[in-house]
């Protein structure tokens, strides 16, 4: 990361996250004066301590100076404590605000944007990258204030005690600055690599845990274990690198300090012998110089904190700055449904980063309240067609209308409010049965939920669950059977009660009885609704008012079951295969 970018990121961090807490930073700055003053007082007090107590043997001072030393330490300690408290709180507040902003961005993002990156990487933005920013705000900001103030005051004291020696000690400063600059940039780079590794690690862990059954059945425990060892080793290496770069400043600084102190003692020897310096000045000066070591070291490494924090912030900002393409246009009206006619007009669509269009020149008209079945081979483009209606994606060409209103011109909220989706891969949350169903309508009464479950042929099995509607179903409904999950997702769609239903029929076959139950549930769901169903079951296909055959992204035939049986070879072919499997 180069300096202009670093500057830009820091400015943005300050402007949007820190500026509004500026009063707190001012208080911390004020407390930093306490830290600096306390530290300098400790060094300065050695001057009268030596002079009054040891040389002049002043009785009162023997009592007062130790008290003053306790006071100086207390001021330093308390100021530091309160300043840290303020900045820890501030940093955690910044973390909270950034995390909220990040989650809001993820929720508003296009499906494509979020799905193009592994979920584990997003998690590492939330946890790792933001923690780097937090360190920048808490340690970085405080250290820069308290350490530079302390250093200034100590240097002033050194000049006060003996300007010649102080000038000599100043050689250290530019050297420290040079060391700092190169290390900071290096650390920024290593941190960026490390963030990548942490992202890979979270991604790997989430897959390992989710895929445990597949790992076991394919007996790939060793393979996965080796993989985990590799990733963890890489993680360790990067962390080592960060650690090494961070502490690389230490030996350099130690050596520098050693040289300076040695030169200093040599020179004072000469000065004291020549009567140019008192012993009390010597002690005070030496203490000030020793105490200056810590802030110099901290300031020499502080830019690392800034580079690291900025690198983390940059990755978070990249996510925040990715604008959603699918959003309301300025004049979005609410979708107004009367008949519920759905029409696709000359619709083309290609997935991002693909060459061949997934669907081409699709024209569909579904009369309100009727069911159209999409039929075709796997990969033909059926799910793609369905995903265009709730605008998970926008067509590359052509338009989609609901009751003559272009879905691009109505508000996204009103569009999706009118559509239910039962997808091929059912998504359930780790919550109770009730909560999963009520997800469609948070205000639904128990009665409504129960009725929806009866319609979906789900109430009988739900009532047999250990805590009935209050049973926790586990991550993605792991504690339910396939058919049960389907029926819950159908109940959820029934509860939403929308004029338009999208149904991506699950291909998994159920036993005859469950099959019939799910079929009945679907019938209840789609009664008098405009339904676009991707049909795999013959019974669904035959019942549809219109059958649309999709082949390689194009619609090749449309008609009723009887029409198609008479006229379409493709359909006859599909039909006979279905007959033989059923
Ligand atoms: N997110 C995606 N990114 C890129 N290409 C995709 C994506 N999803 C689907 N495709 C491609 O688009 C084509 C159509 O896929 P689609 O999911 O619509 O098929 P389908 O007819 O629903 O098949 P199935 O019956 O197996 O579910 C396929 O060739 C597939 O590889
Ligand atoms: Mg599909």
Tokens of 320: 């925040």
> Which pLDDT does position 510 carry in this prediction?
59
> Which pLDDT does position 581 carry in this prediction?
58
Residue among 383, 392, 396 whose CB has most ligand 1 atoms within 8 A, to mutate? 383
**Residues written for the chain:** 582
Q: Ligand 1 centroid to 506 CA: how many Å?
A: 15
Q: Ligand 2 centroid to 315 CA: how many Å?
A: 33
> Which pLDDT does position 512 carry in this prediction?
66
pTM listed for this prediction: 0.84
Question: Which atom of ligand 1 is nearest to 380's Cα?
Answer: 21
> Which pLDDT does position 460 carry in this prediction?
86
| Helices within 349-445 (DSSP H only) | 382-388, 412-417, 433-438
The class level of CATH for 342-581 reads alpha beta
Q: What values do phi and psi take at 391, rounded to 5?
A: 60, 45
Residue among 112, 347, 379 whose CB has most ligand 1 atoms within 8 A, to mutate? 379
pLDDT tens digits for range 389-438: 999 999 999 999 999 999 999 999 999 999 999 888 888 998 999 999 99
Note the ligand closest to the C-alpha atom of 384: 1
- Residue 567 CB neighbour total at 10 angstroms: 11
Residue among 382, 422, 506 whose CB has most ligand 1 atoms within 8 A, to mutate? 382
Q: Which residues contact 574 (CB under 8 A, 6 or more apart)?
A: 375, 549
> Which pLDDT does position 536 carry in this prediction?
80
Task: Decide: 119 and 80 in contact? Cβ < 8 Å.
Answer: no
Task: Decide: 38 and 65 in contact? Cβ < 8 Å.
Answer: no
> Which pLDDT does position 60 carry in this prediction?
87
Using CB distances shorter than 6 Å, the residues near ligand 1 are: 351, 354, 358, 376, 378-384, 424
> Which pLDDT does position 535 carry in this prediction?
81
What is 3-317's CATH superfamily?
ABC transporter type 1, transmembrane domain (1.20.1560.10)
Distance between CA atoms of residues 171 and 17, nearest Å: 38
Nearest CA to ligand 1 atom 26: 378
Distance between CA atoms of residues 458 and 468, nearest Å: 11
Nearest CA to ligand 1 atom 27: 378
> Which pLDDT does position 152 carry in this prediction?
93
> Which pLDDT does position 511 carry in this prediction?
63
- Give the DSSP letter of residue 497: -
Residue among 349, 375, 381, 386 whose CB has most ligand 1 atoms within 8 A, to mutate? 381
Q: Ligand 1 centroid to 383 CA: how many Å?
A: 7
Q: Which residues contact 561 (CB under 8 A, 6 or more apart)?
A: 541, 542, 544, 547
Q: Ligand 2 centroid to 386 CA: how many Å?
A: 9
- Residue 568 CB neighbour total at 10 angstroms: 18
Tokens of 150: 């302390």
Distance between CA atoms of residues 325 and 125, nearest Å: 22
Note the ligand closest to the C-alpha atom of 376: 1
Residues of the chain with confidence (pLDDT) below 70: 172-173, 176-177, 179-181, 506-514, 578-582
Q: Ligand 2 centroid to 532 CA: how many Å?
A: 13
- Residue 7 CB neighbour total at 10 angstroms: 11
Q: In what order do the strands lie in the sheet with 500-504?
A: 419-422, 500-504, 530-534, 371-376, 546-551, 554-559
Note the ligand closest to the C-alpha atom of 112: 1
Listed by start position, the domains of the chain span 3-317, 342-581
Distance between CA atoms of residues 79 and 72, nearest Å: 11
Q: Among 135, 133, 140, 149, which residue's Cα sits nearest to residue 30?
A: 149
Q: How do beta strands 405-406 and 419-422 pair?
A: unpaired
Question: Which atom of ligand 1 is nearest to 374's Cα?
Answer: 21
Task: Decide: 391 and 562 in contact? Cβ < 8 Å.
Answer: no
Domains 3-317 and 342-581 share a fold: no
- Sign of CA pseudo-dihedral 313, 315, 321, 324: negative
Q: What values do phi and psi take at 191, rounded to 5?
A: -65, -40
């Amino acid at each position: 990361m180069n300096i202009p970018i670093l500057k830009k990121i820091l400015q943005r961090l300050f402007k949007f996250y820190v500026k509004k807490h500026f009063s707190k930073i001012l208080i911390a700055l004020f407390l930093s004066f306490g830290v600096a003053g306390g530290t300098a007082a400790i060094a300065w007090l050695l001057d009268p301590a030596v002079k009054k107590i040891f040389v002049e043997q002043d009785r009162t001072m023997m009592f007062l100076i130790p008290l003053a030393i306790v006071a100086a330490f207390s001021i330093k300690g308390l100021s530091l404590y309160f300043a840290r408290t303020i900045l820890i709180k501030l940093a955690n507040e910044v973390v909270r605000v950034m995390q909220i902003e990040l989650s809001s961005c993820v929720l508003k993002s296009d499906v494509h944007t979020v799905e193009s990156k592994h979920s584990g990487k997003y998690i590492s933005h939330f946890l790792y990258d933001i923690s780097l920013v937090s360190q920048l705000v808490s340690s970085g900001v405080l250290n820069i204030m308290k350490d530079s103030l302390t250093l200034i005051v100590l240097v002033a004291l050194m000049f006060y005690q003996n300007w010649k020696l102080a000038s000599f000690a100043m050689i250290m400063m530019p050297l420290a600055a040079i060391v700092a600059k190169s290390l900071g940039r290096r650390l920024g780079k290593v941190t960026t690599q490390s963030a990548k590794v942490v992202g890979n690690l979270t991604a790997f862990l989430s897959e390992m845990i989710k895929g445990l059954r597949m790992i076991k059945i394919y007996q790939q425990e060793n393979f996965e274990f080796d993989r985990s060892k590799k990733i963890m080793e890489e993680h360790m290496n990067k962390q080592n690198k960060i650690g090494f770069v961070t502490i690389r400043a230490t030996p350099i600084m130690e050596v520098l300090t050693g040289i300076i102190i040695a030169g200093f003692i040599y020179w004072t020897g000469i000065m004291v012998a020549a009567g140019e310096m008192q012993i009390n000045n010597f002690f005070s000066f030496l203490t000030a110089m020793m105490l200056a070591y810590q802030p110099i070291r901290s300031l020499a490494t502080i830019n690392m904190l800034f580079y690291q924090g900025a690198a983390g912030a940059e990755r978070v900002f990249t996510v925040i700055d990715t604008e959603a393409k699918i959003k309301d246009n300025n004049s979005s009206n609410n979708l107004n449904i009367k008949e519920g006619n759905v029409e696709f007009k000359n619709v083309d669509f290609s997935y991002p980063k693909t060459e061949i269009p997934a669907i081409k020149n699709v024209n569909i008209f579904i009369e309100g309240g009727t069911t159209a079945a999409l039929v075709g081979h796997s990969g033909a483009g059926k799910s793609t067609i369905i995903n265009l209606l709730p605008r998970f994606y926008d067509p590359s060409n052509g338009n989609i209308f609901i009751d003559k209103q272009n879905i691009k011109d109505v508000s996204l909220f009103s569009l999706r409010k009118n559509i239910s989706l039962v997808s091929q891969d059912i998504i359930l949350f780790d919550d109770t049965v009730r909560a999963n169903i009520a997800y469609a309508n948070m205000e639904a009464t128990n009665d409504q939920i129960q009725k929806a479950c009866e319609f979906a042929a789900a109430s009988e099995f739900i009532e047999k669950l250990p805590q009935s509607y209050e049973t926790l179903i586990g991550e993605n409904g792991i504690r339910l059977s396939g058919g049960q999950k389907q029926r819950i997702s159908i109940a959820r769609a029934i509860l939403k009660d929308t004029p338009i239903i999208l149904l991506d029929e699950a291909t998994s076959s159920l036993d005859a009885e469950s099959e019939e139950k799910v079929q009945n549930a679907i019938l209840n769901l789609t009664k008098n609704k405009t339904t676009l169903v991707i049909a795999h079951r013959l019974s669904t296909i035959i019942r549809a008012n219109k059958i649309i055959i999709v082949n390689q992204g194009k619609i090749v035939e449309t008609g009723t079951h009887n029409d198609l049986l008479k006229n379409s070879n493709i359909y006859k072919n599909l039909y006979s295969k279905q007959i033989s499997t059923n």
